[in-house]
Structure 1
Amino acid sequence: MNESHLWTAEPHTAYLQWQTTEAAGADRRRFSQRSIVQHKAMFDRFLRHLVTCGVALATFGPEHLESFFGDVENRCAPGTTTRLRYVKLIDRLCRHLVDVGLRESNPAAPFALSAAWPEDEPEPLFLDPAADAALQAYAQPDAGDDARLCRNRAVVALLLGAGLTAAELRGARCRDIVIAGIRPQVRVPKRGARLERTVALPPFSTPPLGAWQQAHRASEAALLFSAPRTDDKPINDVLLGAIVREALDAIGFAAPDMSPRVLRNTFARRQLLWGKTNEQTSALLGLASQRTVTRLRATITAPTT
């Protein structure tokens, strides 16, 4: 089977083969295994979009890219580079498909020409210790809570107490949370390039999670937070973002980004304030790189002598 036919018959296999044997970045350096895993997940998402549109790698056009990039932007927090990373990936893919003869032109070229990496990375957003304490207090259960508010407090408590990503929280199962005993903790399964890890739950997070477990009786294999009126579909990113924004509004926090990322950054910065190293904190976040944590440490003012 020649390469062009492989891209048509088995695109997932063809993409992985290309990534591991030939593909390289703008600096001509081969991609790391971590990058390959991330790129494969991005390609799979793009391919699902093409299937939904009824087109293939050989036939999609600019209009399909426009709708795809629009969907990416709608699902991402403002200020992120997610769209840009997809533009670069698909432009690189299309140039390769032209090289192997599957396509005659690159419909991603105009998008790539108008795309540029931001000159400066935005400052990471987080809650200062006072706001962190206020949100911890907001997450505590109240006797008058209805099911919705009980769930929302538990969501906030888990994000703020364990530093999970939105995707990790959406995929969490009831069996992953242990709040009984002397070591409450959450097990975070391997996801993409992030390794499996176990994060100790702080005392403030266990009452709201316990209240949710009592209100939401489910099997150990069930999703911890399923979509409303379902048991087998995870809570979506739109609802998750609304839960976090509502909580941040309640404590008077306002920022350009009001997403779960703010709570994850707050968790990480709290670890640094408690004396953990960059390596230890990155491991708690499931990150192989210390880049995120280094940026957060830079926001901590060294004590004067």
Structure 2
Amino acid sequence: MHTLTFWDANPVQAFKDFVSTEAFAETGRRARADGKLKLLSAESAKIYKFMFNNVAGWLQEQGLVFSTATQADLLRFIGRTEKGKPVLNSKIAYRYLRLLERCYEHLGVTPNPAQQAILQIDRAHIKKDEAGRSLSDDQLERFFNALPADPPRRRRSTPFDGWKRRRDRAMQVVIALAGLRVSEAVGLLVTEVGRQAALDGSIELTITPSEKHDTSHEHTVTLPREGVDELRPWLEEREAMEIPGQLVFPANVAGKRLTRKTVYVQMRATFERAGLDLERSGGRTLRNTFAKRQLDAGAKPEELKDVLGLALERSAADYKLTRVKPDPTQ
């Protein structure tokens, strides 16, 4: 275990050495079915390291060190604003504090400044903020109309010019109409796409944890005909390009995996073209919209749990209670 002195001098390295250990897993108290500690996946570790690096950079800017940062310091970090708007929504702010709480717990710092900061924030607001927003039917139509467009055929030097636009277009439609997490879309496999269409033109997507975030649960969701009409041509083009591997939406012709950051950037661009200035214009908004449409169609929490791939029915009930607030932007 690194000392507090090391954490102050080399916070980024100290956290990097800590995050993938059993000691970090112990602070989260996550156990597998066999009772052993559940270590972080590489993808989760990357996210945590990104978050901690943000904190370390801010502490350095403020002339502070990790061991002596106070509750007030941490509240200032999560309360930062840019152009009058919060840098972090309350759910993400809470995650930052929970991460820091685990670090201070590991180091035996008492009182734990992150724990004290958590007690000062409005937990009810966190739950409300977690809901995010959903799009109205009109806004969703505007989003679809703003999807990446094909380059004019006369400008193509090869039949596949502009293929990434068609990939991004198909992926964003699938996320919106099948309620996928971004990590599930990035990791979607060709073998998970149903080949036999139903009478209404829909197909089933069988989502498995393979190649996805470790919070994804196996589930089946129906992609309606509108989504199939975007996905099928892309799959045919992908096959014609002879892209290796099984990823439906690869990053390049070598079949490498897309980063979630790339997807968020492309999705944000679509929201901006649509004139939808949402606080969180991304995959969560589209997932909320999918959930709202399911509820409007009469889905019950148990059914919503299944199609969203949630572990608990109460998580689906939360959508009914708090996650269907339309964004007022028109």
1:187 corresponds to which residue?
Answer: 206
Q: Give the drift of 1:62.
A: 2.2
Ranges in structure 1 where 5+ consecutive residues have no aligned partner = 1-7, 24-30, 53-60, 71-76, 99-104, 300-305
| SS at 1:235 equivalent | coil
CA contact (8 A) 2:26 2:37 kept: no
Paired residue type of 2:21: H
Q: Give the drift of 1:281.
A: 1.4
2:218 corresponds to which residue?
Answer: 196
Identity of aligned residues (%): 18
Ranges in structure 2 where 5+ consecutive residues have no aligned partner = 1-16, 54-64, 79-86, 154-161
Q: Give the drift of 1:130.
A: 1.8
CA distance in 1, matches of 2:275, 2:48: 41
Paired residue type of 2:178: A
CA RMSD between the two structures: 4.3
Q: Give the drift of 1:293.
A: 3.7
Give the counterpart of 1:149 among 165, 169, 174.
165
Q: Give the drift of 1:151.
A: 1.3
Alignment length, in residue pairs? 257
Is 1:231 the equivalent of 2:247? no
Q: 1:43 to 1:141 in 2, by over 3 A?
A: closer
2:21 corresponds to which residue?
Answer: 12
2:141 corresponds to which residue?
Answer: 133
| SS at 1:216 equivalent | helix
TM-score (norm 1): 0.67
Q: 1:242 to 1:179 in 2, by over 3 A?
A: farther
**Larger mean Cα displacement after TM superposition, 109-118 or 169-178:** 109-118
| SS at 1:225 equivalent | coil
The CA deviation string for residues 232-273 of structure 1, in whole angstroms up to 9 with x for no partner, is 2x2222221122122223333221111111111111101011
Is 1:81 the equivalent of 2:91? yes
CA contact (8 A) 2:179 2:291 kept: yes
CA distance in 1, matches of 2:284, 2:37: 21
Paired residue type of 1:296: R
Q: Give the drift of 1:215.
A: 2.1
| SS at 2:251 equivalent | coil
Q: Give the drift of 1:220.
A: 8.1
Q: Give the drift of 1:166.
A: 1.3
Q: 1:244 to 1:18 in 2, by over 3 A?
A: closer
CA distance in 1, matches of 2:182, 2:172: 11
Paired residue type of 1:206: V
Give the counterpart of 2:323 among 289, 292, 296.
296
Is 1:206 the equivalent of 2:228? yes
2:175 corresponds to which residue?
Answer: 159
Q: Give the drift of 1:202.
A: 0.7
CA contact (8 A) 1:37 1:193 kept: no
Paired residue type of 2:223: L
The CA deviation string for residues 35-62 of structure 1, in whole angstroms up to 9 with x for no partner, is x999945984478679x9xxxxxxxx72
